[in-house]
């Protein structure tokens, strides 16, 4: 089962499976995804994979924002360190370019960054390097089961 099919199956429990979009081009970066969708980069809900000490966590943020290291450290009491490709694959089964906040093991908490609130509709990846999901913020919150909202971006 492809990553997009896995996400589609997961989203079916929320009746959101028809929101998955697959492209003939890469959407592996914010810029590529925005071009494929014809939208502003801020609407791309990028999923950032971190290790906070020995704890994995995902932060979903607006595509035009960067994590503020001081805010991250204050919130999570650890330095912001991106997961390696090996950590990402072993902890989630995902690969860079298709990292998404859906169908994750319960050991990987998801946080939504306040930067997303600037948009009514956002597009997180759908588990592959050429996919996205069109969601309102309330649908994103419903389908990701976040631990909560954080403010860790510049």
**Sequence ranges of the domains in the chain:** 3-150
Tell me the C-alpha distance between 84 and 95, whole Å: 10
User: 128 phi and psi, to 5 degrees?
Assistant: -135, 170
pLDDT digits (tens, 9 = 90+) for 113-143: 999 999 999 999 999 999 999 999 999 999 9
Q: What is the pLDDT of residue 123?
A: 98
Report which of residues 94 and 32 the model is more confident about.
32
CATH match of 3-150 with 3.90.960.10: yes
With a cut of 90, say whether residue 18 has pLDDT above it: yes
Q: What is the pLDDT of residue 1?
A: 62
Q: What is the pLDDT of residue 93?
A: 87
Mean pLDDT of the residues in the chain: 95
pLDDT digits (tens, 9 = 90+) for 91-101: 988 889 999 99
Instruction: Specify which residues 136 forms β-bridges with.
Output: 121
Q: Locate 27 and state its tokens.
A: 């959407």
Q: What is the pLDDT of residue 4?
A: 85
* Mean pLDDT, residues 63-83: 96
With a cut of 90, say whether residue 51 has pLDDT above it: yes
With a cut of 80, say whether residue 58 has pLDDT above it: yes
- Give the helix ranges, DSSP H, for the chain: 3-11, 30-37, 69-76, 85-92, 137-144
3: confidence class by pLDDT, cuts 50, 70, 90? confident
* Mean pLDDT, residues 48-65: 96
């Amino acid at each position: 089962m492809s990553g997009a099919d896995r996400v589609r199956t997961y989203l079916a429990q929320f009746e959101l499976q028809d929101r998955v979009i697959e492209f003939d081009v890469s959407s592996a970066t914010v810029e590529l995804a925005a071009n494929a969708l014809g939208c502003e980069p801020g609407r791309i809900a990028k999923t950032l994979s971190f290790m906070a000490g020995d704890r994995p966590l995902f932060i979903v943020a607006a595509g035009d924002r960067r994590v503020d290291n001081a805010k991250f450290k204050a919130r999570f009491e650890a330095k912001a360190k991106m997961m390696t490709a090996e950590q990402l694959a072993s902890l989630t089964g995902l690969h860079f370019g298709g990292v998404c906040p859906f169908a994750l093991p319960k050991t990987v908490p998801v946080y939504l960054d306040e930067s997303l609130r600037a948009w009514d509709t956002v597009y997180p990846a759908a588990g592959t390097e050429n996919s996205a999901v069109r969601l309102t913020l309330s649908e994103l919150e419903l389908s990701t089961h976040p631990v909560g909202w954080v403010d860790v971006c510049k």
